[in-house]
């Protein structure tokens, strides 16, 4: 069956889209107030996400190995509680973690960090921090600070750029063939690949802007990778403008092919080389000295959906490219 890859692409997209939107996030602590504590009695208000705090919930503060258990806990509902602590002097680190039944909010509270450690044991006995609120219900995505539900966009935003790069790679391959054969048919294929690639470029910019608004607070920031992606799109728009400015078909094919090769080199520079320079600031994971998704967020649970999503979108892009080339060839035949 010649079209098996099309059915595979549809199946992968359906699987990745439904699973990417429906799979719940793992339980986590998302907010702790106040953000600063001092020695003495203090009430700490904790907000969870997809958690199920019970009446027997255990809460403690952890500061470089020193633990302080809550003297009392008032559970408001499954995701909210208030814990009272008698904070001792002696915390060694500036930031203190909050733990609730195995869920940890790291660096939740600021402390003086001037002590040498807690003298007396504050949490006697063995503390079981693996209660029901930390248990995940089946398969769940990681719940990361700042990202939260927007982590699902990983399965849509990133595959758009993979698909665009594959299509631009097909285009530059066809352009190289044009220089060797002066084939107008290969020139047509190169043009159609760029046109479909630009569709995914626009989709990548839109999904990226929405993700930036949710995590960075603005649809667009002065980020080197954002600017590089926008410039890359403009470079390929200029490719189409160049084609429209030359009347002779064979001359147009050769000029467009040469331009397309340089455009692909610039794509690699703007999207892969420049953002990874440590001297350049970037908010994107894996760029400007930042840790990549593979270090912090892209765990095995996300990979199960992410890789099928990438393959599914690439196959969809290839299908769109195939249809566009066939339609363009029919138009050319009818014009003759």
Q: Measured between alpha carbons, how far is residue 264 from residues 168, 190, 244, 320 in Å?
A: 7, 12, 20, 20
Residue tagged 């002779």 (tokens): 248
Residue 119 has a pLDDT of: 72
Q: How far apart are CA 133 and CA 54, in angstroms?
A: 7
**Is 32 within 8 Å of 84 (Cβ atoms)?**
no
> Can you tell me the distance from the alpha carbon of 328 to that of 188, in angstroms, rounded to the nearest whole number?
8
Residue 198, pLDDT above cutoff 60 = yes
DSSP 3-state assignment of 139? coil
- What Rg value do the Cα atoms of the chain yield, rounded? 27
193 CB contacts (<8 Å, ≥6 apart)?
Answer: 167, 168, 170, 171, 174, 321
Residues 96, 99: Cα–Cα separation, whole Å: 10
| % of the chain surpassing 90 pLDDT | 60
What distance in Å separates the CA atoms of residue 18 and residue 319, rounded to the nearest whole number?
Answer: 21
Cα–Cα distance measured from residue 141 to residue 293, given in angstroms and rounded to the nearest whole number: 14
pTM of the full structure:
0.86
The answer, yes or no, to whether residue 243 has pLDDT greater than 50, is: yes
The mean pLDDT value of the chain amounts to 88
Question: CATH says 36-134 is which class?
Answer: mainly beta
Please check the confidence at residue 13 and state whether its pLDDT lies above 50: yes
Burial 187-213 (b: 16+ CB within 10 A, else e): bbbbbbbbbbbbbbbebbbebbbebbe
What SS3 string covers 201-263? HHHHHHHHHHHHHHHCCCCCCCCHHHHHHHHHHHHHHHHHHHHHCCCCHHHHHHHHHHHHHHH
The residue ranges of every structural domain in the chain are 36-134, 148-335
pLDDT digits (tens, 9 = 90+) for 273-302: 888 776 566 777 766 555 565 655 567 888
pLDDT in tens, 23-49: 999 999 999 999 999 989 999 999 999
The pLDDT confidence band at residue 56, using thresholds 50, 70 and 90, is confident
């Amino acid at each position: 069956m010649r079209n098996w890859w099309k059915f595979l692409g549809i199946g992968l997209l359906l699987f990745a889209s439904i699973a990417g939107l429906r799979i719940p996030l793992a339980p986590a602590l998302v907010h702790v107030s106040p953000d600063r504590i001092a020695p003495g009695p203090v009430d700490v208000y904790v907000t969870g996400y997809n958690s199920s705090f019970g009446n027997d919930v255990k809460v403690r503060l952890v500061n470089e190995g020193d633990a302080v258990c809550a003297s009392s806990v008032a559970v408001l509902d499954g995701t909210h509680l208030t814990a009272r602590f008698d904070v001792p002097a002696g915390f060694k680190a500036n930031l203190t973690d909050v733990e609730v039944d195995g869920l940890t909010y790291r660096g939740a509270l600021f402390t003086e960090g001037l002590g040498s450690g807690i003298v007396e044991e504050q949490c006697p006995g063995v503390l079981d921090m693996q209660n029901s609120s930390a248990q995940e219900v089946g398969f769940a995505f990681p719940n990361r600070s700042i990202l939260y539900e927007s982590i699902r966009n990983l399965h849509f935003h990133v595959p758009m750029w993979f698909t665009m790069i594959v299509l631009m790679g097909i285009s530059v391959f066809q352009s190289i063939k044009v220089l060797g054969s002066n084939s107008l048919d290969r020139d047509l294929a190169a043009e159609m690949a760029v046109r479909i690639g630009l569709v995914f470029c626009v989709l990548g910019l839109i999904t990226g802007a929405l993700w930036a608004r949710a995590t960075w607070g603005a649809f667009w920031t002065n980020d080197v990778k954002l600017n590089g992606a926008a410039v890359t799109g403009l470079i390929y728009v200029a490719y189409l403008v160049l084609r429209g400015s030359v009347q002779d078909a064979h001359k147009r094919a050769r000029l467009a092919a040469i331009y397309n090769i340089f455009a692909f080199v610039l794509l690699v520079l703007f999207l892969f080389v420049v953002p990874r320079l440590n001297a350049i600031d970037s908010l994107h994971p894996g760029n400007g000295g930042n840790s990549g998704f593979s270090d912090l967020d892209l765990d095995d649970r996300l990979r199960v959906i992410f890789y099928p999503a990438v393959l599914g979108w690439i196959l969809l892009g290839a299908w769109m490219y195939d249809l566009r080339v066939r339609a363009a060839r029919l138009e050319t035949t009818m014009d003759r």
